[in-house]
Amino acid sequence: MEHFIVLAFKNVFRQKKRSFTLGVNYAVVAFILVLLMAFSHGASVNIADSLVKATAGHITITGQFAKGGKIYNGLSRTPDIVSAVTDTYGDAKVLVRYLVRSTLYFNGLSKRLSFTGIDTGKDPTFQDQAVFKNPASDGSWSGFAQDPNGVLMPQDTANYFGLKLGDQVVLSTRTRFGAFNTGILTVRGIYTTDNYFAKDLVLTHFDFLRNLDLADPTASTAVYVYFPRVENLSAKRDNIDRALKAKGFDVAVPASDTEAIAAVSAASPKYETDKEGRDRVMLKVATLDEVLGLVRTILAAVNAVGALISLVMLFIIAVSIFINLKMNINERLMEIGTMRALGVEGWRVTVLFILESVSLALVFSILGGLLAVGASALIRIGPTFPPGGNLGIFLQKGHLMLLPTLGSFISVILVIGLFAALFSFFPARKGGAIPPVAALTKTF
């Protein structure tokens, strides 16, 4: 059989022009598919990384609590939640946040914004990401950390209001109980970040937002849990669920990806009437995989579109394979007749033609795939895109993250090879079935 393989490889380039034309098609399909999968994988890795550095943990705990016949959004008994996690996983890092959507008023302008309350002493998540271009005019992290009524404004928001360092802004929000409350914040920093999920967050202090929301001292809106290793998040979540239940919490997992996304983006507590009539804290414990589920669904849709384009191209290739092989067989009738006259069975002739076709597909799809790997590397280090643009969610430090994997590379080559084998089988079988006499007399 190895002779057949060697022969098949040699035969690939007997009709250089024809083989090259077909081969380029294989290469283009492989290029598109490898690039798409690199985009998909890169986007998934990048979004997970950015999300974890902004508004999600490896495990995110959000929820509601019922008290006095009313259900409030947000968490109560936060210290108990934190201790349930740390008792279960001593090496886990736990961050507590307070998220509020509130209207900001300044200089005759107003806008509803998402405020993220952090404990600057314990939560360094944003410290390394926030860039203050000019400390004299844009402030600093330490200036913000030292002022309990300080706020860090994203550059775009600061530009909208015309804010500068030291300006005081008014916040007005309907609290979780229904009453309006207001507060004053002093701008202690104007920052930019290349993290898509952090770029619009107005950062302020946890206690400030909790007080603004008129919430009790054990209240928060989200608890983020980070592990040194990200494996087996579902199992870790199950263990945390058990610990939380043991402390008297009602625990549930998100019913869908959408619910998981909602869990990490929950803000602006409000209340509704409790029909159960039992004071309780209801927690929703979501893993990062669940939060990213929706992203993966979107990326799968992007991949599906790419796959559809590739499929159309592959069918064009299928027709080309068919015609190409037919022409090949017609041109090589003498060769087929000779092989058959020498005693080569018909199925071996069929295999030879299939091997030729598959060899052509493999050579060019590998080339196309390698080209895609090279292009991915170039794009990764090459052009810088604006973080606020349409591509923002896929960018890391302004670069589009295309991360091809060996698995995706091999699977693309295999699929194209199998495809070539499948569509060359029928004409090849016909070639193999030609009687030697008919082939030698070219009467077929």
What SS3 string covers 74-112? CECCHHHHHHHHHHHCCCCEEEEEEEEEEEEEECCEEEE
- Of 212, 329, 401, 403, the one binding another protein (CB under 8 A) is 212
> Which amino acid makes up residue 287?
T
Quick one: which segment of 45-53, 137-145, 193-201, 206-214 binds another protein (CB under 8 A)? 206-214
SS3 413: helix
The counts of H helices and E strands in the chain are 14, 14
In the bound complex, what is the minimum distance in angstroms from residue 401's beta carbon to another protein? Answer: 40
| Pick from 92, 307, 55: nearest CA to 202 | 55
182 binds another protein (CB under 8 A): yes
In the bound complex, what is the minimum distance in angstroms from residue 195's beta carbon to another protein? Answer: 29
In the bound complex, what is the minimum distance in angstroms from residue 151's beta carbon to another protein? Answer: 11
Please tell me the distance from the alpha carbon of residue 355 to that of residue 170, in angstroms, as a whole number.
74
127 binds another protein (CB under 8 A): no
Residue 85 near residue 227 (C-beta atoms within 8 A):
no
Eight-state DSSP code of residue 139 = B
In the bound complex, what is the minimum distance in angstroms from residue 124's beta carbon to another protein? Answer: 25
Which residue number, 15 or 186, has a Cβ lying nearer to another protein? 186
Quick one: which segment of 86-94, 182-190, 388-396, 408-416 binds another protein (CB under 8 A)? 182-190
Interaction with another protein in 88-117: which residues (CB under 8 A)? 103, 105, 108, 110
15 binds another protein (CB under 8 A): no
> Which amino acid makes up residue 62?
T
Residues in contact with another protein, counted by CB under 8 A, come to a total of 24
Distances (CA, A) of 408 to 35, 45, 178, 226: 10, 15, 53, 29
Please tell me the distance from the alpha carbon of residue 21 to that of residue 115, in angstroms, as a whole number.
58
218 binds another protein (CB under 8 A): no
Interaction with another protein in 313-352: which residues (CB under 8 A)? none
In the bound complex, what is the minimum distance in angstroms from residue 282's beta carbon to another protein? Answer: 20
Interaction with another protein in 54-83: which residues (CB under 8 A)? none
In the bound complex, what is the minimum distance in angstroms from residue 171's beta carbon to another protein? Answer: 10
30 binds another protein (CB under 8 A): no
Which residue number, 150 or 387, has a Cβ lying nearer to another protein? 150
Which residue number, 127 or 149, has a Cβ lying nearer to another protein? 149
Residue 52 near residue 95 (C-beta atoms within 8 A):
no
Please tell me the distance from the alpha carbon of residue 202 to that of residue 267, in angstroms, as a whole number.
13
Please tell me the distance from the alpha carbon of residue 140 to that of residue 166, in angstroms, as a whole number.
12
Please tell me the distance from the alpha carbon of residue 444 to that of residue 442, in angstroms, as a whole number.
6
In the bound complex, what is the minimum distance in angstroms from residue 152's beta carbon to another protein? Answer: 17
- Write the binding mask 132 to 171 for another protein: x where contact by CB under 8 A, - elsewhere: -----------------x------------------x-x-
- Of 83, 211, 239, 303, the one binding another protein (CB under 8 A) is 211
- The long-range contacts involving 140-146, CB below 8 angstroms and separated by at least 24 positions, are 140/188, 140/189, 141/189, 143/188, 143/189, 144/120, 144/188, 144/189, 144/203, 145/120, 145/121, 146/188
Which residue number, 273 or 390, has a Cβ lying nearer to another protein? 273
By CB under 8 A, name the binding residues for another protein.
103, 105, 108, 110, 149, 168, 170, 172, 174-175, 177-185, 208, 211-212, 214, 271
